[in-house]
Structure 1
Amino acid sequence: MSDVSLQEGAYETGMGDYFALLKPRVMSLVVFTALVGLLVAPGPVHPFIGFVGILCIAVGAGASGALNMWWDADIDARMKRTVGRPIPSGRVAPGEALGLGLALSGFSIVLLALATNFLAAFLLAFTIFFYAVVYSMWLKRATPQNIVIGGAAGAFPPMIGWAVATGTVSIESALMFALIFMWTPPHFWALALFVKSDYGRAGVPMLTETHGRDITRRHVLIYTLLLVPVALGLGLTSIGGPIYMTIAVVMNVWFLKGAYDIWRRTDADCEADKHKVEIGVFKVSLYYLFLHFGALLAEAALRPYGFGGW
């Protein structure tokens, strides 16, 4: 981490700057998947307990974002996409970001333990540690497989939501975790194939930088092939059903076809059509996760009326 500091008196930090440290766009996905994990779990959950659980998961995710921005300030300062973030732009001091991340981490973990159960709190603590330390401080700068292993941090929220409701880990929550974990690499690499990044200049060993686009295309197909059985397998569990399975079949055929098309392409093809296929696959990936988890939610909502589930 570099010494990125504020110019004293140059800027008065506002609440919006601190909020930006929490990566609110990422937090929205975390909240949605955690909420689905909570609502599809068996057994009733008191609304207040559920609210506190989701709040703690959201705050924990924000804490991870702040710690990540604190550590990655040197990288962010060298990349066009991130140079405007609060620390490299001089709107927030690095020490303030570190303090905020640590304070929110402690608050969210302790409150979740007191309001729900220790398993949920442990999973949240491990998620924050994994993202801030294992991914940000180690994997991101050490291996082109960083996005693969680091994707585990974004996959834990539905498992935590399930633990809030049940106090357990189950095959259902494990498969929800696996769905996000296996979706992350092809989603990210599809984007990396058509976005001109400056990861190389920033010293981050992303796959497109270290192994080239042909290898990246192959990895997109491989991880999509691994994703399909996970998605379909989730539909066969107690939280699946015909609604989910219909969505899963359609979306996985669509996604797999796109990954196959990417694998067959060359750099010349991409230049000729301005990455039309890669852009299309990335857009499909955006809908992919939302529709799968939305279908699980629909199954849970309709099950009491005899429509959801098998």
Structure 2
Amino acid sequence: MQKPPKRNLMLLSTACFGMLVLTLLASQSSAAEQTQTLRVLCYNIHYGQGTDGKYDVARLAKVIKQTKPDLVALQEVDVGVKRSGRVHEAQRLAELTGLAVRFGPTQHYEGGLFGNAVLTRLPILDVMIQPLPYTESTPQLVTYPRGAIIVTVRGQNGKPLRFISTHFQHNLPKDRIEEAKAINRHFTLDSDIPTILAGDMNATPDAEPIQILLKQWTNAIDEAATPTAPSTKPRSRIDYIFYRPAADFEVIETKVIDEPLASDHRPVFAILKWKQK
């Protein structure tokens, strides 16, 4: 059998080496540019009570499932509370949607707990509950303790993503301002973990609490700033999805869902492209 000339072998080796280098570079480029699409929902569920006065967790679950979410921030969630039939609403919503749940109580109420929750289909790495500033309730002015639940999940390439559900004070503007400052202080000053913040801020886009948040966060809001409350005839945009750092995300879609019955708020939905470096 005739052996190929050495020159041909050298050319073949050089070509193979070149192809290997190109393959490695393409692989590295692909890894560097990996992205993940996230379907995010923010929903104040009014402790399960719809605008028809009925407590119906299954109805809320149907609204949530229709968006096929990866991450859901819930506010006004009852667990074992008398008014809502002692139902563990967080766990029931998890069962009905097929998502994992974590509950972040902010207060005791009617023999149970009341607060925020997160639903997710992503693997959960860590959970934390962060109290927020608020003014104590008095006989003259009823207020509620405020807080945030922070769930860290794992992305497709193993990178962590932080997801926060929160609810600002409903009737004291100064509390909302302090709560916005606290969110910035706790979740932006000492961490570069990509983070999505969602909640009922009880403040319109031009209000000071939102302007404070915008110093550190990007608002995934539609151009019209479609109102979310009250759900039957919405007048005010008070429910939001924010993210940071801005360079790590791209908004593919954002909207308010036309759902007037299941809660006194309409849900906010966004599709974000998360650029995992």
Same fold per TM (> 0.5)? Answer: no
> Which has the greater radius of gyration?
2
- Per the normalisation by structure 2, the TM-score is 0.31
- Higher strand residue share: 2
Name the structure where helix makes up a greater proportion of residues.
1
TM-score relative to the length of structure 1: 0.28
